[in-house]
């Protein structure tokens, strides 16, 4: 159980981050949600998670393409809940384009949000974790932190960077009492966005949804099934628990065999 722990999950207004926030709350951790979205809907979400789990749930907006805002997000979270014991760096964006046409502003944004924000939030969160004798940083990287695909140069570079950063912090915290830094590397995950893509691709290619999943979207994922958000959330809970205390500086691939190739 994570009863009484305080967690900040970046990019948790949708998708994987939201699933992780829900699971941490279900384990008893108070949570700070962050990310973009409609304020009324986000407030509803906070109230819903709070009433389902009995924990405190707050929303703190921040644009993580700014280092200053990333630092301030952690400071504000500490002010709101009293501490950040669990930091999940999940916010991320993607852009797909050949390198010659890759827009420079997209490159900068992807590096800032997907990689540099992890530096700013971790730097702000670590000192108090170390003095408290408990802390968990979980970086949501990707299989693209371990292997590449064409046309995703910024994303692949940023995610490889996240894994390097994770290894380094793992070593820097190695002798601290119960402070760990790890990464989760998901393969293709079933989020509402992806479900929409399956339907669209099926129409465009005149293929069945099954064929689109198998031969288009999951061409590189050997098990030919999407990873469920709940599987990632369960791993995050394990990494944060006492039984997770010897995972450090490592990357856990949850990818249906993708990186075994
Ligand atoms: P998503 O688009 O559903 O959620 C992304 C979240 O990040 C949202 O809450 C969004 O508001 C927030 N966000 C975006 N830009 C932000 C910014 N500048 N500042 C603050 N918040 C911002 O995406 P997702 O699929 O849930 O992805 C979450 C993470 O998982 C990302 O880091 C992504 O790279 C990684 N990932 C996703 C998949 C997949 O198949 N979906 C696979 C591997 C890794």
Establish whether residue 36 lines the binding site of ligand 1, counting it when its CB lies within 6 angstroms of any ligand atom.
Answer: yes
Q: Which residue has the least CA distance to atom 23 on ligand 1?
A: 15
Q: How far is the CA of 175 from the centre of ligand 1 (A)?
A: 31
Establish whether residue 15 lines the binding site of ligand 1, counting it when its CB lies within 6 angstroms of any ligand atom.
Answer: yes
Assigned fold of 6-188+228-253: Rossmann fold (3.40.50)
CA distance 261 to 186: 15
Q: How far is the CA of 234 from the centre of ligand 1 (A)?
A: 18
State CA 141 to chain mean position distance. Answer: 7
Catalytic residues: 155
What is the full per-residue pLDDT of the chain (261 aa) written as tens digits?
Answer: 999 999 999 999 999 999 999 999 999 999 999 999 999 999 999 999 999 999 999 999 999 999 999 999 999 999 999 999 999 999 999 999 999 999 999 999 999 999 999 999 999 999 999 999 999 999 999 999 999 999 999 999 999 999 999 999 999 999 998 999 999 999 999 888 788 888 888 998 899 999 999 998 899 999 999 999 999 999 999 999 999 999 999 999 999 999 999
Establish whether residue 74 lines the binding site of ligand 1, counting it when its CB lies within 6 angstroms of any ligand atom.
Answer: no
Q: Report whether 37 contacts 20 (CB < 8 A).
A: no
Q: What is the pLDDT of residue 192?
A: 80
Global confidence as pTM: 0.97
The best mutation among 16, 77, 152 to test binding of ligand 1, ranked by most ligand atoms within 8 Å of the C-beta, falls on: 16
Establish whether residue 236 lines the binding site of ligand 1, counting it when its CB lies within 6 angstroms of any ligand atom.
Answer: no
Q: What is the pLDDT of residue 200?
A: 87
* Ranges of each domain in the chain: 6-188+228-253, 189-225
Q: In 3D, which of 80, 119, 70, 88 has the Cα closest to residue 20?
A: 88
ipTM of model? 0.99
Q: What angle do CA 40, 44, 45 make, to 5 degrees?
A: 115
Q: How far is the CA of 13 from the centre of ligand 1 (A)?
A: 9
Q: How far is the CA of 113 from the centre of ligand 1 (A)?
A: 10
Establish whether residue 60 lines the binding site of ligand 1, counting it when its CB lies within 6 angstroms of any ligand atom.
Answer: no
Q: Report whether 255 contacts 143 (CB < 8 A).
A: yes
């Amino acid at each position: 159980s994570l009863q009484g722990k305080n967690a900040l999950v970046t990019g948790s207004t949708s998708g994987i981050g939201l699933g992780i926030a829900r699971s941490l709350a279900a384990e008893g951790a108070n949570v700070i949600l962050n990310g973009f979205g409609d304020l009324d809907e986000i407030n509803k979400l906070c109230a819903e998670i709070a009433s389902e789990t009995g924990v405190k749930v707050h929303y703190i907006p921040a644009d993580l393409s700014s280092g200053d805002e990333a630092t301030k997000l952690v400071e504000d979270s500490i002010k709101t809940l009293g501490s950040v014991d669990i930091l999940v760096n999940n916010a991320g964006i993607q852009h797909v384009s050949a390198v010659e046409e890759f827009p420079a502003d997209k490159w900068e944004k992807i590096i800032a949000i997907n990689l540099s924000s992890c530096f700013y939030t971790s730097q702000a969160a670590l000192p108090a974790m170390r003095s408290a004798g408990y802390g968990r940083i979980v970086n949501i990287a990707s299989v693209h932190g371990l292997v590449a695909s064409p046309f995703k140069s910024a994303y692949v570079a940023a995610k490889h960077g996240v894994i390097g950063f994770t290894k380094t912090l793992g070593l820097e915290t190695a002798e601290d009492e119960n402070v760990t830094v790890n990464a989760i590397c998901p393969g293709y995950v079933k989020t509402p966005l992806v479900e929409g893509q399956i339907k669209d691709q099926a129409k465009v290619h005149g293929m069945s949804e099954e064929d689109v999943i198998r031969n288009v979207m999951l061409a590189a994922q050997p098990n030919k099934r999407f990873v469920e958000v709940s599987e990632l959330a369960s791993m995050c809970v394990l990494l944060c628990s006492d039984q997770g205390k010897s995972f450090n500086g490592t990357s856990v691939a949850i990818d249906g065999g993708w990186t075994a190739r």
